[in-house]
């Protein structure tokens, strides 16, 4: 699922100037790629990517100035395709009259920024890739524990929210409870956040809804966090063999990304918050090259070799 992004969202995000008041700011932006129509200014429209946001800088506009008014209007007619979401002028440069005339007629927004072309294009690309990234919503709780983004999953009533509350009390930060919106912003990178309506809120059965930021302060919450580990809570099954060494690492696939997953059996007397803290610290050690299970296995092998 992709978020619907409109030109007015872009205008507000970058505080852009609207050149023509007749423009339709509800036009949708569907791709994150941008276009600097250099060849198009020269008249080559065979492969014109009309569905992209078009950016005109000093080079394109200087070239246009050298054309006759008739040719400029002809090029602007082709530039302002019916499906072009918007045209953005960089450096606060003057907008050609022919472009204003055609764009107003077709209600295509002409926006203007004071930033130079390269810098603005870079910022706009990052913004569009983040906003238009594929998104899914998963049932779970996302917390930031020692800088590690941990997605806690499990069946309803297993104790996910209560565990998150204990983690917040221990100084960690809540990102989302119950529903986690996950965006794949890059290859192997998942960013989780909370839907606006439930942001900073925790549901504790028997207590109700609590506002974590109000109770524990702004330092107890985060707006978003990269997900690096999944902790699955499940009821203890005496007939199931749970991992005891940590050599067999499981993965959970979310969209196109695989995230390390550990399963923690739940039963009375187990402090889940402490276990998750240790899981986060152990994850950090692993990415720094220290794998306790592998080191134990190597020591055991060495010991057995010495015995023989």
- Give me the residues paired with residue 232 across strands: 153, 263
Residue 160 annotated in active site:
yes
| Inter-CA distances, 176 with 36, 99, 171, 298, Å | 39, 46, 16, 40
Beta strands, E only, 267-304? none
Question: Does 295 belong to an annotated binding site?
Answer: no
Catalytic residue among 70, 240, 244, 253: 244
Using only C-alpha atoms, the chain has a radius of gyration, in whole angstroms, of: 27
Residue 26 annotated in active site:
no
Catalytic residue among 178, 199, 286, 291: 178
Question: Does 269 belong to an annotated binding site?
Answer: no
Question: Does 253 belong to an annotated binding site?
Answer: no
Strands of 189-193's sheet in order across:
135-139, 179-186, 189-193, 224-226
Residue 291 annotated in active site:
no
Find, among 143, 110, 289, 162, the residue nearest to 225 by Cα: 143
Question: Does 159 belong to an annotated binding site?
Answer: yes
Find, among 173, 155, 161, the residue nearest to 280 by Cα: 173
Would you state the structure tokens that stand for residue 147, as one six-digit string?
A: 């800088």
| Inter-CA distances, 228 with 142, 145, 253, 279, Å | 11, 11, 12, 12
Question: Does 161 belong to an annotated binding site?
Answer: yes
The position carrying tokens 């330092």 is 219
Question: Does 157 belong to an annotated binding site?
Answer: yes
The position carrying tokens 């295509």 is 108
132, 5 in Cβ contact below 8 A? yes
Question: Does 158 belong to an annotated binding site?
Answer: yes
Residue 139 annotated in active site:
yes
Catalytic residue among 28, 58, 139, 226: 139
61, 90 in Cβ contact below 8 A? no
Catalytic residue among 36, 160, 183, 222: 160
Rounded to 5 degrees, φ, ψ at 198 are -115, 15
Annotated binding site for ATP: 154-161
Catalytic residue list = 139, 160, 178, 244
Binding residues: 154-161, 203
* Annotated binding-site positions for Mg(2+): 161, 203
């Amino acid at each position: 699922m992709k978020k619907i992004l409109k030109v007015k969202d872009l205008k507000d995000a970058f505080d852009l100037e609207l050149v023509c008041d007749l423009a339709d700011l509800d036009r949708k932006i569907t791709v994150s790629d941008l276009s600097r129509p250099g060849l198009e200014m020269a008249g080559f429209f065979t492969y014109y990517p009309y569905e992209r946001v078009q950016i005109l800088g000093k080079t394109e506009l200087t070239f246009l100035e050298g054309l006759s008014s008739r040719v400029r209007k002809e090029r602007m007619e082709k530039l302002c395709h019916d499906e072009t979401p918007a045209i953005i002028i960089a450096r606060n440069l003057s907008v050609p009259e022919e472009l204003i005339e055609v764009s107003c007629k077709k209600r295509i927004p002409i926006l203007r920024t004071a930033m130079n072309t390269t810098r603005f294009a870079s910022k706009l690309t990052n913004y569009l890739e983040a906003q238009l990234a594929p998104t899914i919503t998963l049932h779970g709780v996302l917390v930031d524990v020692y800088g590690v983004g941990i997605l806690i999953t499990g069946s309803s009533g297993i104790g996910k929210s209560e565990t998150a509350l204990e983690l917040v009390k221990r100084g960690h930060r809540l990102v989302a409870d119950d529903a986690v919106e996950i965006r794949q912003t890059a290859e192997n990178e998942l960013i989780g956040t909370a839907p606006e309506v439930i942001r900073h809120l925790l549901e504790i059965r028997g207590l109700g809804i609590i506002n974590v930021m109000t109770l524990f302060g702004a330092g107890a919450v985060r707006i978003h966090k990269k997900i690096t580990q999944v902790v699955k809570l499940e009821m203890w099954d005496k007939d199931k063999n749970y991992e005891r060494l940590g050599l067999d690492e499981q993965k959970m696939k979310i969209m196109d990304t695989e995230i390390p997953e550990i399963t923690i059996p739940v039963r009375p007397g187990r402090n889940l918050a402490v276990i998750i803290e240790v899981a986060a610290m152990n994850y950090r050690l692993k990415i720094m090259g220290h794998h306790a299970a592998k080191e134990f296995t190597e020591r055991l092998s060495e010991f057995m070799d010495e015995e023989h």
